[in-house]
Structure 1
Amino acid sequence: MTGLATLVKGAGPALLLVHGAGGSVQANYGPVLAPLAQHFTVVAPDLPGSGGSPVAAGPLDLEELADDLVDAVVGAGHESFSVSGYSMGCAVAVTAAVRHPERVRGLVLSAPFVKIDAATRAKIDHWESLLDGSREVLARFILSVMCGEAYLARLTPAQSAGLAELIGASVPPGSAAHVDLLTRIDLTGVLPRVTQPTLVVGASGDRLLSHDLGKQVADLVPGSRYTDIACGHAIALEAAAPWARLITDFLKPA
């Protein structure tokens, strides 16, 4: 699929951002776009059915999606680039790195997984079951699994209701296709083929993905580094500044 809506912002070496399932560039990376753009030319496509990108005609294919995102960066004038993947976007980032090693210089994989485990699958299945129902119920569920317990405890009832309303109003039409792809991902045979310098970032308070999933990714990528951020799955919402620093410090050329 081509024709993905793509944000290009900043100056410097190119950095491709790949957002997660049911998200968008603004939803998953919005708070870190400005700090990243101070050091990189950020190239950030919305996946099919998110932001301004059209809904895919059929099921999403991981390799085709990775190729399309690489094409978006090359089309923006950059022959080589680093990649920051978030959640399901990490699978796209890794696939791009393995399929296009001559273009991808380095990776930061935040809240990644090799394949989802049973505990995570139960939450994903519940998420999928709510997509055609009440947006209020869906939004409350998304809020409960995307945000860490400590973050939610700090919200007033009015703030919680406002955030849920915002989530409900911004559910991408491509969410069902994203969730379908998420459940089919298995990077067991792909991660050991990554040759680029790689930083894996876990979210210690993640209530959507089981915490060990990120460590499993780091164990399979040769020579990778692992670190944690104290936040829930919504890293940009809860920990924008430390996340932007980790990405920048690891990927910015010396």
Structure 2
Amino acid sequence: MVGRCRGMPIAELSQVSLYYELYGAEDAPPLVLLHGATETFRTGWYKQIEAFSAQYRIVGPDLRGHGRSSNPANKLDLRQMADDIRELLHYLGYEKAHVCGFSGGASVALFLAVRHLSCLESLILVSNNFELDKVRTGNAQFWNIERILRDHPKWWESLTKMHQVSPGQLLKWWEEEDVKRPNFKPADLTHITVPTLVMGGDRDPIIPLEQTIKLYHALPNAYLSILPGMGHGAPRYRPHLFNRIVLDFLEYVQKKEAIP
């Protein structure tokens, strides 16, 4: 299974076919990287692969409906997407892994923790909302196709090359998922006791700083990192700082676990 990473590895899971990439030593601790909405593993994490794979076995899937992964359900549901990641870990032979998600991928990671905590060594949530009602109006504008075609034609063109489905279909799936997704309450997260790093930028136009701080306070074993002057996209726009913070956190977690 692992050797197929040089070709085009597809995990044929129970409800979806997930494309994934693997980097790093096979016996290194696994680190799953979950990309944001409308991205792929490669476009979302290309500035982290070299730094992270020096110490970890990188597992980089294209989320359901993105890139080369299928989406037979013809919709997006974060609970289902979290179940996909758990099944992928089992498919690859991993009982547990460190999981890092950015934006929409962080939402998938949080649902993974809520539903399948036993498969997590640690959790890293980057630019993730907590109270969806507080950002839903802005998200609706974000997914607006007319606005994107008018203001970001090059982004639209890149989406057509990046995914098997049309950009309009992908944006529609995310917009519909936003509408039906319930808010988390602090009580929903009290059982997430694995070490969790909550990261965000203090100038993020999509995820307000207060949401990052509320998420941090809702998690019982959380650490907070606020990047000054950073908007939405730390892995891409501040990669050296971002990589250092993540690697320092993971090193701390592993040293803490090694203490008898």
Equivalent residue in structure 2 for 1:207, among 190, 205, 208? 205
Displacement after TM superposition at 1:205 (Å)? 1.9
Equivalent residue in structure 1 for 2:150, among 137, 158, 176? 137
* Alpha-carbon distance in structure 2 between the residues aligned to 1:65 and 1:108: 17
Matching residue of 2:20: 6
Please report the RMSD computed on the Cα atoms of aligned residues, expressed in angstroms: 2.0
Matching residue of 1:144: none
TM-score, normalised relative to structure 2: 0.79
Detail structure 1 runs of 4+ shifted over 3 Å in the superposition. 133-136
* Alpha-carbon distance in structure 1 between the residues aligned to 2:44 and 2:151: 18
Q: How many residues align?
A: 226
1:1-254 equivalences under 5 Å are: 1-11=15-25, 12-118=28-134, 120-130=135-145, 133=146, 136-137=149-150, 139=152, 165=154, 167-171=155-159, 172=163, 173=165, 174-183=170-179, 184-188=181-185, 189-230=187-228, 231-252=230-251, 253-254=254-255
On the 8 A contact 2:22/2:57 being kept in 1, the answer is yes
On the 8 A contact 1:9/1:43 being kept in 2, the answer is yes
On the 8 A contact 1:21/1:182 being kept in 2, the answer is no
Unpaired stretches in structure 2, ≥5 consecutive residues: 1-14, 256-260
CA distances 1:70-113 after superposition (whole Å, capped 9, x unpaired): 11122122221111011122221122123222221101111111
Displacement after TM superposition at 1:56 (Å)? 4.2
On the 8 A contact 1:91/1:187 being kept in 2, the answer is no
Q: What percentage of residue pairs aligned between the two structures are identical?
A: 25
- Match of 1:200, SS state, is strand
- Match of 1:187, SS state, is coil
Report 1 or 2 for greater relative contact order, CA contacts < 8 Å, sequence distance ≥ 6. 1
On the 8 A contact 2:16/2:70 being kept in 1, the answer is no
On the 8 A contact 1:14/1:42 being kept in 2, the answer is yes
Unpaired stretches in structure 1, ≥5 consecutive residues: 140-163
TM-score, normalised relative to structure 1: 0.81
